[in-house]
A and B are shown apart, each in its own frame.
Chain A
Amino acid sequence: MKVFSFHGGIHPPENKKQSTRASVRQLPIPKTLVIPTQQHLGLAADPVVSVGDKVLKGQIIAEPVGRISASLHAPTSGTVTAIEEQPVPHASGLTAECIVIESDGLDQWIEHQAIDYKALERTALVNKIRQMGIAGMGGAGFPTDVKLNLGSDHIVTTLIINAAECEPYITADDMLMREHASEILEGIKIIQYLLEPTHTLIGIEDNKPNAIRALNEALADADIDLDLVVVPTKYPSGGERQLIQLLTGVEVPSGKIPADIGIVVQNVGTAQALHRAINHGEPLIQRIVTLTGEAVEHPGNFWTLIGTPFSDLLSAADLKPGALYRLVMGGPMMGVAAETDAVPVIKTTNCLIAATESEMPEAPAAQPCIRCGMCEQACPAQLLPQQLYWFAKGKEFEKAKNHNLFDCIECGACAYVCPSSIPLVQFYRFAKSEIRAEELEQRKADHARERFEARQARLEREAIEKAERRKARAAEAAKAQAERKKQAANEPIKDDSAALKTAAAVARTKLKKAEVALKNAQDKGLDGVDTLQTTVDKLKLAANEAEQALQKSSTTASSTSITPKGEATVAKPDLKALKQQVSIIRTKLKKAEAAEEIDDSAIEALKTRLEEASKAHTDADNALIEKAQGAGIDLKQLRIDVAMAKVAVTKIERAISKSDDETEQETLKTDLESAKSHYDQLESQLKPYE
């Protein structure tokens, strides 16, 4: 198998021997476990337990939120004592949300079982991996389910298992391979099942002969298709992009991810964790941590529960009192110093260096850059470190970005070789976080602008809608008013006689008043008698006119209503109307007679009308009676019979409602039936004449 090469790289002292002398030891269960809810990129997991809850080992305590997120599990059985801000392993030394579990020492497992992953759908298996909280154990802690579920737009040709472990001091993967090589291979099988790569490579540095031997032995027994590639020891060959270049000769383009060129890289630790999760049903709750450095008596590797505070680890390795000068999380090249030993182990904590002052002294004061170019020679990403340094120092972030600052993997090779001891990586980290913050601000500003504009648009729209509603209301009101006017205009036509009557009455009153005033004036001999006289004349004229109009309308009305429309059969519906007419006119006449003021002519007119109406009524009635006689029916008698029958029906009905006895009711009901049928018969006889 051909091994390619990558640009730059350094050969720092390895310091790996100290921690590989003893086999991996199981760390005793700590009293308190502190599990940060955010252990990786993406969103923090959401706690699903509350304070006081009893949890079993392997029980889920926090669920992933969003796509890039991983679930968390209780590392041992115990009680949740707090969900609060605690120091977390982060370069800032800040606190963050953590779930604190007080262990009960029983280490009681929750029910769990192995899964036959080959029988599972791919998506179901990926979901299972997500539930098991598997995240990359190499460094970044990227949730593994995302990496194994790339979707149809990515075809994976090559799977690379990263076993390089290039950073000095760290031996966690080395020890894992020595002791659990077959488990790693089982884990790789699961990844192969999911990704279906055309070939699989394990990249391992040649400074781990024991691990290589263990893997080869396991490979001989296992039915698995992969190539073990031994690469020369050089820092940082374990970097994802560097390892890809070493094994395939392909460079991942700037700004792309390996999956874009069909390559997926997984750490050996992740593969082993996958095996435990799928083939044993154990979620990711422990990992191997290398505890080394000159400040501990017995450096070595420990199976450590996630959430174990560093202090427990340090005491397990027998910390030399007073010797600890610096506690570094991760390796000496990329790790960050912890401010307190209360910080817990998380899924990505592969190493803890308890260094003495002589081992990791304070960095020498930085001197000016002399433009020697050694950093460029060391840079594995083929960047121009000194240019980036100038830009970062001068805060020309835009230029730094244009010089591909974001391709920097922060490996620290440039700072390692710098003869002026310039903390180059710190400058790059500073520049990167400034650029990221600025981009975030910009995104936020754009978002705020969008929201502001949306709000403006909404307010405008609402204003328009309001105006339109107002307009519609106004139009409706105008329409309603017009309708009323029209009705008012129509009314005199409909109810002509009433209006005319009012007009006539008003005219009369006015006339009377004027006459009284005229009389007064004449009696007292006041001025303006002439004007009053003319007014009276005018009013008299108006009153006469109104009276005439009324007369005219009433005669037309009576003529239309009184005149019988031809034969009796046609006039049938008119009989009732005629009757009404007669009675109305009669009432009017009575009223008119009672009121003395009304002059006789009006009473006379009413009298004639009454006569006419009653004559019309009698005529119509007589015509009907004659017609009935023609058919051999005495109409008068018939009418009386109908009325009698109706009364009989009503009587029986009343009796039914009054009586309580059921049998009586029954007989009454039969009576009612017969009475009703009699009435109906008479009624039908009478009908043609009504």
Chain B
Amino acid sequence: MSNVAIAILVLALLALIFGVILGFAAVRFKVEGDPIVDQIDALLPQTQCGQCGHPGCRPYAEGIAAGEAINKCPPGGQTTIDQLAELLNVDSIPLDAEHGIEDVRKVAYIREDECIGCTKCIQACPVDAILGAAKLMHTVIVDECTGCDLCVEPCPVDCIDMLPVATTTLNWKWPEPPQTNNLIATDRQPRFEENPS
């Protein structure tokens, strides 16, 4: 009888000790926020364009963390989808054309002599990349522009163009070398087909 009591007592004591340790760890090493949302947000292109249907990249990251599809980001394109798929350990899927198609990187350009200085684009810009004041000409700080498109629609005189970023010696990339041809003799043979037409 006393053996049983000792066993129970020892187990209870152990449970208590581990409980205290776990409780302490839960408080001491508490993770603020949702780390997966941060990781997803880090992969998104941060154009804040809203093409995914969310008012910014972080809300979409939260949406993805909650189980939303990963193929709603046209600015990120297939690269971002692949990265998201790898992060979330799901299958990569093609971009959902409903939200837009992948395009070359563009920046907004204001035709300055047509600008009437209404400040509407300034209010629309999610990254404060447009400079100007009421009734004075506005201009886009090209280095800050994410090419999100959001300033084009509010412009009452349609003086904003989305121009593709020009290739200069600074952003030029080495081209991919041509893929090697298969020169092994057997590779050059026609493939066997069951029902040759």
Contacts and interface: CB of A to CB of B under 8 A. Distances in A.
Interface of A: 38, 88, 90-92, 94, 96, 365-368, 393, 422-423, 426-427, 429-430, 432-434, 437, 440-441, 444-449, 451-452, 454-455
A430 B177 contact: yes
Given A94-B169, A449-B46, A451-B128, A368 B182 contact: yes
Contact of A365 (B56, B144, B181, B184): B181
A665 to B, nearest CB: 62
Interface of B: 41, 44-48, 56-57, 126-129, 144, 146, 167-184
A437 B177 contact: no
Contacts of B172: 90-92, 94, 433
A451 B127 contact: yes
A452 B126 contact: yes
Contacts of B169: 38, 88, 90, 92, 94, 96
Nearest to B45: A445
A497 B57 CA distance: 74
A445 to B, nearest CB: 4
Given A451-B144, A452-B48, A367 B128 contact: no
Given A368-B184, A440-B171, 10 more contacts: A94-B169, A96-B169, A366-B177, A366-B180, A432-B174, A437-B173, A445-B44, A445-B45, A445-B46, A455-B128
Contacts of A365: 180-181, 183
A448 B146 contact: yes
Contacts of A434: 173
Contacts of B44: 445
B168 A448 contact: no
Contact of B174 (A91, A96, A422): A91
B173 A448 contact: no
A423 to B, nearest CB: 5
Given A92-B172, A96-B169, A423 B177 contact: yes
B95 to A, nearest CB: 17
Contact of B126 (A94, A437, A455): A455
Contact of A94 (B46, B167, B174): B167
Contacts of B182: 368
B56 A452 contact: yes
A641 B158 CA distance: 90
A368 B177 CA distance: 14
24 contacts: A88-B169, A91-B174, A92-B169, A94-B169, A96-B168, A365-B180, A367-B183, A422-B180, A423-B177, A430-B174, A430-B175, A430-B177, A433-B173, A434-B173, A440-B171, A444-B46, A444-B146, A448-B48, A448-B144, A451-B127, A451-B129, A452-B57, A452-B126, A452-B127
A441 B171 CA distance: 11
Contacts of A433: 172-174
A568 B146 CA distance: 92
B144 A94 contact: no
A445 B57 CA distance: 10
B28 to A, nearest CB: 28
A579 B126 CA distance: 78
Give me the 7 closest cross-chain CB pairs, A-B, nearest first: A445-B46, A92-B172, A448-B46, A451-B127, A429-B174, A433-B173, A426-B177
A368 B183 contact: yes
A426 B46 CA distance: 31
Contacts of B181: 365
A536 B187 CA distance: 125
Contact of B180 (A88, A368, A432, A446): A368
Contact of A452 (B46, B173, B176, B179): B46
Contacts of B184: 368
Nearest to B166: A94
A285 B45 CA distance: 44
Contacts of A444: 46, 146
Contact of A448 (B127, B170, B176, B180): B127
A337 to B, nearest CB: 13
B48 to A, nearest CB: 5
A430 B41 contact: no
B127 A427 contact: no
Nearest to B176: A430
A549 to B, nearest CB: 62
Given A448-B46, A448-B47, A455 B127 contact: yes
A94 B175 CA distance: 14
A449 B47 CA distance: 8
Nearest to A393: B179
A433 B173 CA distance: 5
B46 A437 contact: no
B45 A426 contact: no
B64 to A, nearest CB: 16
Contacts of B171: 437, 440
Contact of A446 (B46, B128, B174): B46
Contacts of A96: 168-169
Nearest to A421: B180
A432 B45 CA distance: 21
Contacts of B178: 366
Contacts of A366: 177-178, 180
Nearest to B47: A448
B121 to A, nearest CB: 14
B45 A441 contact: yes
Contacts of A432: 174
Most buried by B among A368, A426, A452: A452
A94 B48 CA distance: 32
B164 to A, nearest CB: 15
Contacts of A427: 177
Contacts of A447: 144
B41 to A, nearest CB: 7
A128 B146 CA distance: 40
A368 B180 CA distance: 7
A159 B127 CA distance: 47
A90 B46 CA distance: 32
A590 to B, nearest CB: 66
A367 B180 contact: yes
Nearest to B182: A368
B144 A449 contact: no
Contacts of A429: 174
Nearest to A459: B123
Contacts of B129: 451
A648 B191 CA distance: 137
A578 B44 CA distance: 90
A429 B176 CA distance: 9
Most buried by A among B46, B48, B168, B175: B46
A449 B183 contact: no
A455 B126 CA distance: 7
A367 B180 CA distance: 6
Contacts of B45: 441, 445
